[in-house]
């Protein structure tokens, strides 16, 4: 994690300074670190909300074309047809205007902001040894004239809010003094992971209610990504985990509004939806033409009467008929 952040720190230092300046500005309005982080999260999510809306529409559209995807998978079975299958799937996605990874896009977009905010929080709690060998606070990225800078200098680099030092991580336990003191930090991690699963369950429930099936690739990523993020939450400061908790809550509220108002319906926003099954080239099976059977027996033409038709002969009476029994008795006499 440190090597990644060092790389980003060299290239994206202006971005870190911009985010830190905004955080310091919000702290100047409300002098509380947790509140300033929440307000910063709301601003960032306001920028990302259009992407969240677009990705949710793409996910709903992906669910609607699952029958066509299954047809392609049935047609191009086996590893020898893997390339052809991928080409046909890409063609189907293009025709429907769908991004197959759109459903996981909001979660993937959080990664750059996680790295940026991690680097900013790390810079705020930065300490250096003085001449006496004591560690003193030396915040980075934020303006030296800001109120946040003065408070960090006086607190020794501790981001104290909600009764916690938000610059700390769950591990090591020694940094907290005891397991009991570390429990709130583990609670932050658990809350962040559960909220991500709840957000995905919200989409899956909507799909099941509409009689649609979630793509297998999306299901796999939905199970895998929260586990990856759970590990990340254990090695980053609690202030960054607080950002993820608030951002996930905002996405949940955004998706609920989209579902209730119909904004997530891809048919209303330029994504083509097939009214019937998508026609796959070469997949149609030829069926033999069926001849209609006449409901009445065809009349026969007599060759000796110039094409006149012979009237149909009456059906003989069954032998069980009473007149048939009388005739057999007379013949027997």
237-267 pLDDT, tens digit each: 999 999 999 999 998 998 888 888 866 554 5
pLDDT given for residue 328 in this prediction = 60
Tell me how crowded residue 170 is: count the other CB atoms within 10 A of its CB.
Answer: 22
Q: Tell me what the pLDDT averaged over the chain comes to.
A: 77
The residue ranking higher by pLDDT, 47 or 147, is 147
The residue ranking higher by pLDDT, 61 or 211, is 61
40-71 pLDDT, tens digit each: 999 998 888 777 777 777 777 777 777 888 88
The residue ranking higher by pLDDT, 188 or 71, is 188
Q: Are 60 and 207 in contact (CB under 8 A)?
A: yes
pLDDT given for residue 100 in this prediction = 67
pLDDT given for residue 277 in this prediction = 43
pLDDT given for residue 312 in this prediction = 54
Q: Encoding tokens for residue 62?
A: 């992906």
Q: Which residues, in sequence order, are CB contacts of 37 under 8 Å at separation 6+? A: 23, 166, 239, 242, 243, 246
Express as a percent the part of the chain with pLDDT over 90: 32
98-127 pLDDT, tens digit each: 766 665 665 566 678 778 888 899 899 998
16-43 pLDDT, tens digit each: 899 999 999 999 999 999 999 999 999 9
Q: Report d(CA 70, CA 166) in Å as an integer.
A: 48
pLDDT band per the 50, 70, 90 thresholds, residue 3: low
**DSSP conformation class of 309:** B
pLDDT given for residue 260 in this prediction = 84
pLDDT band per the 50, 70, 90 thresholds, residue 271: very low
């Amino acid at each position: 994690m440190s090597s990644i952040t060092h790389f980003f720190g060299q290239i994206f230092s202006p971005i870190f300074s911009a985010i830190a300046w905004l955080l310091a500005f919000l702290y100047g309005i409300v002098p509380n670190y947790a509140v300033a982080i929440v307000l910063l999260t709301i601003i960032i999510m306001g920028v990302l909300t259009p992407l969240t809306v677009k990705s949710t529409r793409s996910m709903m559209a992906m669910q609607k074309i699952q029958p066509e995807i299954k047809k392609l998978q049935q047609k191009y079975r086996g590893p020898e047809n893997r390339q052809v299958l991928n080409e046909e799937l890409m063609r189907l996605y293009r025709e429907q205007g769908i991004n197959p990874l759109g459903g996981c896009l909001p979660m993937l977009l959080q990664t750059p902001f996680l790295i940026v905010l991690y680097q900013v929080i790390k810079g705020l709690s930065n300490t250096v040894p003085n001449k006496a060998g004591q560690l003193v606070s030396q915040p980075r990225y934020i303006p030296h004239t800001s109120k946040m800078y003065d408070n960090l200098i006086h607190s020794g680099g501790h981001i104290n809010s909600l009764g916690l030092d938000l610059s700390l991580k769950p591990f090591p336990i020694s940094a907290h003094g005891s397991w009991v003191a570390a429990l709130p930090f583990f609670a932050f991690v658990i809350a962040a992971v559960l909220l991500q699963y709840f957000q995905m369950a919200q989409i899956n429930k909507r799909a099941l209610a509409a009689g649609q099936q979630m793509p297998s690739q999306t299901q796999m990523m939905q199970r895998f990504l929260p586990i990856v993020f759970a590990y990340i939450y254990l090695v980053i400061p609690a202030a960054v985990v607080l950002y993820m908790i608030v951002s996930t809550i905002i996405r949940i509220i955004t998706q609920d509004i989209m579902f209730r108002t119909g904004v997530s319906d891809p048919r209303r926003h330029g994504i083509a939806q097939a009214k019937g099954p998508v026609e796959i080239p070469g997949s149609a099976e030829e069926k033999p033409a069926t001849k209609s059977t006449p409901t009445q027996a065809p009349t026969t033409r007599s060759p000796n009467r110039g094409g006149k038709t012979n009237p149909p002969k009456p059906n003989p009476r069954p032998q069980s008929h009473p007149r048939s029994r009388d005739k057999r008795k007379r013949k027997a006499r």
